[in-house]
């Protein structure tokens, strides 16, 4: 039952999730292959963020199955820490550690969790900060950085763990239009490097440009999905059309 690269790296089957009596996800299924970039779009409250948070086990599910590299995420015997070493996550509100500098934020997890050597980690951290074009801000605290800069540090922090999958939960939603661009450029470069990315986003232009596949969710189900071109130009479902006409 070993996982091979030909199988989906992330696979959701009939995922159901409810908060009390409120059903948020009502049977969501999709597969993500290694190196694929998929975007989940949809109106607010349609369960997008909940869905993405289930993939690294921040939220539990009531029914269905989620596997990452063939391992069941919601198996009670699964070592969640091992899973999370492989699945990076970036949040809407950045959530950097405010008492550490940008560099320390990036270095912390590899040092404390992976127990790597400080010199190696430091080298990698500087390289990552350079990648997100923030090498001159290495010694700044999160409070001294703009939203866009903080978000790029957060991306570097996640990448420092060398994950196989990256989850982006509305990472540009709290940013102003100017800084949205710099974050999106970083994510696009990441996608071009072959990182498997699952994005929840409201940036339709960006989704169209980088995604291999788009999923449209509404009221806890996937209403429509397809490659960006056919999805945006030839939407078939009424709800999708309505949503797209409002947003585009």
Binding interface with another protein (CB under 8 A): 56, 58, 81-82, 84-85, 87-89, 91, 93, 95-99, 108-109, 112-113, 154, 157-158, 161
**Cα–Cα distance for residue pair 101/88, rounded to 1 Å:** 20
Name the minimum Å distance from CB 187 to another protein: 17
**Cα–Cα distance for residue pair 141/158, rounded to 1 Å:** 17
Strand partners for 168: 90, 199
Give, for 103, the enclosing helix (H) or strand (E).
helix 102-112
Strand partners for 169: 200
Name the minimum Å distance from CB 60 to another protein: 13
**Cα–Cα distance for residue pair 190/215, rounded to 1 Å:** 20
Residue 92 DSSP code: T
Name the minimum Å distance from CB 129 to another protein: 17
Closer residue to another protein (CB): 56 or 172 = 56
**Cα–Cα distance for residue pair 201/40, rounded to 1 Å:** 7
Closer residue to another protein (CB): 155 or 214 = 155
Closer residue to another protein (CB): 161 or 221 = 161
Closer residue to another protein (CB): 97 or 120 = 97
**Cα–Cα distance for residue pair 180/223, rounded to 1 Å:** 27
Name the minimum Å distance from CB 41 to another protein: 22
Name the minimum Å distance from CB 94 to another protein: 8
Give the sheet arrangement for strand 87-90, strand by strand.
Answer: 87-90, 165-169, 196-200, 37-41, 213-218, 221-226
Closer residue to another protein (CB): 153 or 207 = 153
Name the minimum Å distance from CB 175 to another protein: 16
Q: For 104, phi and psi rounded to 5 degrees? A: -65, -35
Closer residue to another protein (CB): 161 or 204 = 161
Sequence-separated (6 or more) residues with CB below 8 Å from residue 120: none
The two three-digit tokens of residue 1, written as one number: 């039952």
């Amino acid at each position: 039952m070993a996982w091979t690269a030909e199988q989906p790296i992330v696979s959701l089957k009939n995922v159901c999730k409810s908060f009390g009596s409120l059903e948020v996800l009502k049977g969501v299924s999709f597969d993500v292959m290694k190196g694929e970039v998929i975007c989940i779009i949809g109106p607010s409250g349609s369960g997008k963020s909940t869905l993405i948070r289930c993939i690294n086990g921040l939220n539990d599910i009531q029914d269905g199955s989620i596997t990452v590299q063939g391992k069941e995420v919601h198996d009670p015997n699964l070592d969640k820490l091992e899973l999370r070493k492989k699945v990076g996550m970036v949040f809407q509100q950045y959530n950097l550690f405010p008492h550490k500098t940008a560099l320390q934020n990036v270095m912390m997890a590899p040092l404390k969790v992976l127990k790597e050597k400080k010199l190696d980690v430091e080298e990698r951290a500087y390289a990552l900060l350079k990648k997100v074009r923030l090498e001159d801000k290495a010694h700044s605290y999160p409070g001294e950085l703009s939203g866009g800069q903080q978000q790029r540090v957060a991306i570097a922090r996640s990448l420092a763990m060398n994950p196989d999958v990256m989850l982006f939960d509305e990472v540009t939603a709290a940013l102003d239009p100017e800084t949205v661009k710099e974050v999106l450029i970083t994510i696009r470069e990441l996608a071009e490097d072959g990182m498997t990315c699952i994005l929840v986003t409201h940036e339709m232009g960006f989704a169209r440009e980088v995604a291999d596949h788009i999923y449209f969710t509404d009221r806890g189900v996937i209403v429509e999905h397809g490659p960006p071109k056919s999805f945006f130009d030839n939407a078939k479902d009424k709800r999708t059309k309505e949503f797209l006409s409002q947003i585009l």
